[in-house]
Amino acid sequence: MILGEKEVVYVVSDSVGETAEFVVKAVATQFNGGNVEIRRNSYVDDFEDIEDVLILARTRKSIIAYTIVVPALKEYLDRRAAEENIMAVDLLSPLINAFTTSFNKTPHHQPGLMRKLDEEYFRKIEAIEFAVKYDDGRDPRGILKADIVLIGVSRTSKTPLSMYLAHKRFKVANVPLVPEVPAPEELFAIPRKNCIGLIISPDKLNEIRLERLKALGLGSKASYASFARILDELDYAEKIMKRVGCPIINVSNKAIEETAGLILDVLKKERSL
């Protein structure tokens, strides 16, 4: 061993090793950072990888800190480190054992699950950002990029449905259908199976729009809530939906969760044909 040489902590993981490195750094700060060098060894998945680390570790003052969940690899590292008189610290097993004992659960012993969870999380965030960006027909280019496109008249729950489905990691664009505004051409360029039309009964739509006007402090006689206007909009929307050829769901008296479930069921059926 060379005098004055840095102590080394070999971080060994059957995944990326970020968790172990973070823990080691946290501990090192308790010693003012020490004179410690951290060397990460990621994706260790066989005995030879472990031997490579041991060869390096036994030549200098070192510790092995590891997050290995595959039992055979963990047992091998523990045994060989003891034989080489190298301190090996298992960062996961105490907590895994606590979960097993206290919660009566069985671990998967599968590497990389945290990374998969992170990927799921970022896909959800991306889908939410997509729903916000392409809400209410703001940018018709989103129609071509979306997993699901929702179309319908105002107050058919397009926005809350888009957000609900985004939390399930679907990229959703929604387009309001208004007689005075031509439907975007992109709507007729996508596969029919990517689009869902949302309809509602005139009575229910009238009720919802009256409540909306009240919330805005506007009079109930505004054309927005008039039956003539509502029937005109619904007729126009039906024509667009027929032209698109998309499945149609009636959202009258349905909760967002119920409608979202129906949307996913319809799309699953459509896309399996």
Structure tokens at 125: 């965030």
Alpha carbons 12 and 77: distance in angstroms, whole number? 10
Alpha carbons 148 and 130: distance in angstroms, whole number? 11
Q: Is 214 annotated as a binding residue?
A: no
Q: Is 252 annotated as a binding residue?
A: no
Q: Is 59 annotated as a binding residue?
A: no
Contact 111, 135 (CB under 8 A): no
Alpha carbons 15 and 115: distance in angstroms, whole number? 8
Q: Is 153 annotated as a binding residue?
A: yes
Q: Is 154 annotated as a binding residue?
A: yes
Q: Is 168 annotated as a binding residue?
A: no
Q: Is 158 annotated as a binding residue?
A: yes
Contact 128, 171 (CB under 8 A): no
Q: Is 13 annotated as a binding residue?
A: no
List residues bridging with 87 in a β-sheet: 63
Residue numbers belonging to the annotated binding site for ADP: 152-159
Residue numbers belonging to the annotated binding site: 152-159
